[in-house]
Structure formats: structure tokens, C-alpha cells
């Protein structure tokens, strides 16, 4: 199956699941999915693939979904709760680092078959996750801050707090994703890949984030509609 098709399928599954979790479990569901997306993305990002004519790391769609989640939380539940979601995911990632590094300290049984694979994957994970944690925290808090700055602007411009959702959604995400992509590419992969590959990773990742930012706008509108029609899922 072509990599491009797999990425498209991943987008449908991940973004669809985000809305499903919100409909079924409310803002608590988004908190849970945000943690899940952050942890899995930090492992998936180790995979380098060729798709859409460029080299790219996986994990971009999952990372992008965390910005969708904070935008939904900002829109429906306020800045304070959106920032709380960011902090919870950060703390969970710290716990995951500690536990995953303990796995590498065990002496495996003679019949063990997974230890080698675990060392290959998780010996690289601390740098990836530590880079991700710092960048994630900066970019996500920036996204929430920008979202509400754009919201203030929309209120003044349109005289209605509900109008201009697409502006604050895309305006905040595209700027914070630029910061996220630049810092993460440098901190996570500098010295691991050539300069040409780093540029390719940065460019392809940001293009994907721009596309996913534009595509996630209908999901934010849908989440707001769910919140308005089903206040019981609070």
C-alpha cells in the first residue's frame, strides 16, 4: 500500500477518533486522546519514510491532532483547561521516559526475543521525547495564547464571539506549528541526519501541518456544534 494512502488513512482515523472521543467522553476524552497522541507520536517519529515526493518522519498527523485538541478545548472550555491538557500530556511523557528507560536496565532471559528491539527503539527515545517535551510545551502554550489573542481580535472585528472561528483556529495553529517544526527538527534530529535531510524533514513536516491545519477546521466547527447540542458531555 502506498505511503501516501497510509498517511491519508491515518488522518481519517486520528481526526475521526478525536471527535468520537469528544462526543463519547467530553473534555475528559480529549485529555485522554491528547496523552495517547503525544506518546505514540514520539515513537512513530523515529520512522523516516518517502511520501509525496519528499522524505518525512511519521508522527506529524498525530502531533497535529494535539493542536486540534487544544483548539477545541480553548473554544469550548477555555484557556485554563486547554493549558491543563498540555501540562498533563507533558507530565505523562516524563513518566513514560522514566519507565521506558527502566525497561533497558533489565537483564533479559535467555529465551527473550524482544529485548534487542526494545533497545533499538527506546535507546533513542529519550532524546526524541526530551526534545519533544520542551518544544511541545512551548508550541502548545503558544498555540493556546495565540488562539485567545485571535479570539479577542475576532470579537472586535465581528462583534460576535462565535464568528471568525476559522481565523483563530488556523491563525494560531499555523504560527505555533512553524515554531514547533523548526525547534523540533533541530533539537531532535541535528547530528543524526544530513543538513539536506533536516531541511527536507522541516519543509515536509510544516507542509503537512499547514494542510492538516486547514483540514482540521471543519472538525473544530463540528466539536463546537457537539458542545452546543450536548452540554451534558461537559
Q: Which residue in the block uniquely carries the three cell numbers 519528499?
A: 54
| Segments of the chain with pLDDT less than 70 | 124-126, 128-129
3-state secondary structure of 61: helix
pLDDT number for residue 146: 93
Count of residues in the chain: 234
pLDDT number for residue 121: 82
Please tell me the pTM assigned to this model. 0.88
> In terms of residue numbers, what domain contains 74?
3-233
The neighbour count for residue 95, using CB atoms within 10 Å, is 10
Number of H helices, E strands in the chain: 7, 2
What CATH number did the domain enclosing 124 receive? 1.10.1760
Q: How far apart are alpha carbons 189 and 167 in whole angstroms?
A: 32
Dihedral sign for Cα atoms in the order 141, 188, 125, 59: positive
Burial 115-151 (b: 16+ CB within 10 A, else e): eeebeeebeebeebbbbbbebbeebbbbbbbbbbebb
Distance of CA 115 to the CA centre of its chain: 29
Q: What is the largest CA-CA distance in the chain?
A: 70
**Structural domain count, the chain:** 1
Concatenated DSSP letters of 165-227: HHHHHHHHHHHHHHHHHHHHHHHHHBTTB-HHHHHHHHHHHHHHHHHHHHHHHHHHHHHHHHH
The neighbour count for residue 88, using CB atoms within 10 Å, is 15
Cell of 206: 510544516
Alpha carbon separation from 43 to 20, 23, 74, 75, 195 (Å, rounded): 24, 27, 27, 29, 22
Burial 183-221 (b: 16+ CB within 10 A, else e): bbbeebbeeebeeeebebbbebbbebbbebbeebbebbe
The neighbour count for residue 180, using CB atoms within 10 Å, is 26
Amino acid at each position: 500500500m502506498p505511503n501516501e494512502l497510509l498517511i491519508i488513512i491515518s488522518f481519517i482515523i486520528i481526526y475521526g477518533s478525536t471527535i468520537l472521543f469528544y462526543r463519547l467522553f467530553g473534555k475528559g476524552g480529549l485529555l485522554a486522546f491528547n496523552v495517547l497522541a503525544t506518546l505514540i507520536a514520539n515513537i512513530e517519529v523515529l520512522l523516516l519514510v518517502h511520501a509525496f515526493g519528499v522524505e518525512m518522519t511519521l508522527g506529524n498527523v498525530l502531533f497535529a491532532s494535539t493542536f486540534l485538541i487544544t483548539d477545541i478545548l480553548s473554544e469550548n472550555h477555555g484557556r485554563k483547561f486547554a493549558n491543563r491538557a498540555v501540562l498533563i500530556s507533558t507530565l505523562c511523557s516524563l513518566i513514560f521516559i522514566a519507565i521506558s528507560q527502566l525497561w533497558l536496565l533489565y537483564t533479559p532471559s535467555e529465551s527473550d526475543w524482544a529485548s534487542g528491539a526494545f533497545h533499538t527503539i527506546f535507546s533513542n527515545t529519550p532524546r526524541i521525547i526530551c526534545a519533544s517535551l520542551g518544544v511541545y510545551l512551548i508550541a502548545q502554550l503558544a498555540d493556546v495564547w495565540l488562539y485567545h489573542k485571535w479570539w479577542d481580535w475576532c470579537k472586535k472585528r465581528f462583534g460576535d464571539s462565535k464568528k471568525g472561528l476559522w481565523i483563530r483556529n488556523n491563525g494560531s495553529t499555523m504560527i505555533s506549528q512553524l515554531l514547533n517544526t523548526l525547534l523540533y527538527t533541530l533539537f531532535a534530529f541535528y547530528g543524526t541526519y544530513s543538513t539536506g535531510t533536516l531541511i527536507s524533514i522541516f519543509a515536509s513536516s510544516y507542509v503537512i501541518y499547514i494542510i492538516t491545519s486547514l483540514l482540521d477546521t471543519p472538525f473544530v466547527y463540528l466539536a463546537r456544534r457537539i458542545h452546543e447540542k450536548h452540554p451534558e458531555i461537559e
